[in-house]
Amino acid sequence: MHHDTGTAVDHAASIVESYFRAPVTALVDTAEVLSADLGGTRGASPLTASSLDGLVRPHAMSLLALPGVAAYGAGFIAALDLVDGARGHLAWWQGSARTRLVLASQPLGKERIDYSDMEWFRVPLRTGAPHVAGPYVDYLCSDEYTVTISAPVTTTGGVFAGVAALDILVDSIERDLTPRLEQIGRPVTLVNGVGRVVVSTDHRSAAGDSVRGSRLAALPRTACGDVALDVIVG
């Protein structure tokens, strides 16, 4: 079925927005609860890695069980020096077995990755708003092409404590979104805030491609509601 361009753009944007709305909303809700939890613990005694894991785990499990979203990993990434005796900390569970990510047991070097510079951490810190980052190869967690949705967690007095986050593998997004976008009958390319392709029904565009300098650069980009992604309809 072929839509005129305006209708096609609106339809594509609403498909994308409805797909990402549930995880973004769930993360914002999780961030609020974690803010309250952390506000309650901070004053009492130093926050340890294991007490933080205990706070986060039930939230990570419910994020991983979100219906309609093939979440690969979920949890909380602490602001630097939030946790007693550790520079940084990931309270993170992933994979079909929902195992906790332990960086110390990973190949040498992972625990030295400075995540404070990663887009999914840096942008919510700066804006105070949820963010969709990627696709990028997630060397910290999955080693796969990944999209990370994150939302800032602040303690009492608005102090940044870290981000609640959820990983969706690009494979899963392609599987879920491509058939829906193909029904529009025009080539649809979903791009992130920095103009990289997330998924596309146009075989000439692949995940991770930059729109800059390509034939897509001249076409209008339409925001997908308040999800930080745009669609380009050919």
User: How do the pLDDT tens digits run along the chain, 234 residues long?
Assistant: 556 778 999 999 999 999 999 999 999 999 999 999 988 765 667 889 999 999 999 999 999 999 988 999 999 999 998 998 888 899 999 998 898 887 654 554 555 668 899 999 999 999 999 998 989 888 888 888 999 999 999 987 788 999 999 999 999 999 999 999 999 999 999 998 889 999 999 999 999 899 999 999 999 999 998 888 999 998
- Which residues are within 8 A (CB) of 126 and not within 5 positions of it... i.e. 6 or more apart? none
Location of structure tokens 């990983």: 167
Q: Which domains are seen in the chain, by residue range?
A: 15-171 (3.30.450.20), 174-233 (no CATH)
Give the amino acid at 169.
L
pTM: 0.89
Q: What is the DSSP string of 28-71?
A: HHHHHHHHHHHHHHHTTSPPPHHHHHHHHHHHHHHHHT-TT--E
d(CA 135, CA 219): 21
